[in-house]
Homo-oligomer: A and B are copies of this chain.
């Protein structure tokens, strides 16, 4: 059994880790920290866990995290990096669901997250936790920077096109739509039911934190200079993310070959489903599961096949976009079956 600790278990990525890890047969939950809720049984905050999780939140200093095998940080940006050195010294593996270990470029980190990076020496060895594009490095990692939700969809959607060098990498467009849980469990007026339901809007169009992370990673797969226009939108759904990606083809290619690029890239991936060409994946087809599904389109322009390829990508932002992906990384790091504890049938309807 792997002893697991969770730092910051009161938010949505925290409770999602609890939902998933509770049913993971190789995991023993040993500590969940929350300074504010010290002593409160987890199930009192989340009645969905009544009868399933008997742990109480504990203040960090009582939690004996150094005795864990793996510690997840489901905390705001900037927390994991302050505790990483001590945990690593104690031999604990660490998976940060926030941004502390995502960006290799510390100037970018400081610009977008508004704080200096406190442990660049750990950052050097940190591995970006996107298994489909980084599996070998994850196997050997001690520290994982778990990808952002948007970047997961954008990278898996553009990767086969960049790898094959058939699109103009300098003018990628990612028009993305996220469910409200992506913003976390925060007492903010703009996240109220009355503000977000029966409403739709874009936000952060002039610049969003997930852009530099996505660009840094995508750059690994092409000689071209990556240029990305990323437009996030807020959809009145709880879970779910839909990214509509646009790339302009620079080479002649027929649709069958295009589809084969994707099918070959992901043929052994348990959590990436390449759907038939021309179909429309729905977010709910991944709800509460670790699956990401995608489909390709090549719209006609003025009656003939255009040179724009459209990739539709969906996932549950709290699972493949966050906590599920983190557990997938844990499985890989710990030598478990990669799918252990992650075989949920999506909840539909």
Contact = CB atoms under 8 A, between A and B. Distances in A.
Interface residues of A, number: 94
B242 A202 contact: yes
Nearest to A15: B348
Interface in A174-216: 175, 177, 179-181, 185-189, 191-203, 205-207, 215
A294 to B, nearest CB: 12
A47 B273 CA distance: 10
B180 A282 contact: no
Contacts of A199: 237, 240, 282-284
Contacts of A227: 301-302, 306
Contacts of A191: 192-194
A202 B348 contact: no
Interface stretch (A88-96, A137-145, A228-236, A323-331): A228-236
A141 B239 CA distance: 41
Given A192-B192, A194-B185, A349-B238, A299 B207 contact: yes
Given A308-B229, A349-B238, A287 B202 contact: no
Given A46-B348, A202-B244, 4 more contacts: A198-B287, A201-B280, A205-B312, A206-B297
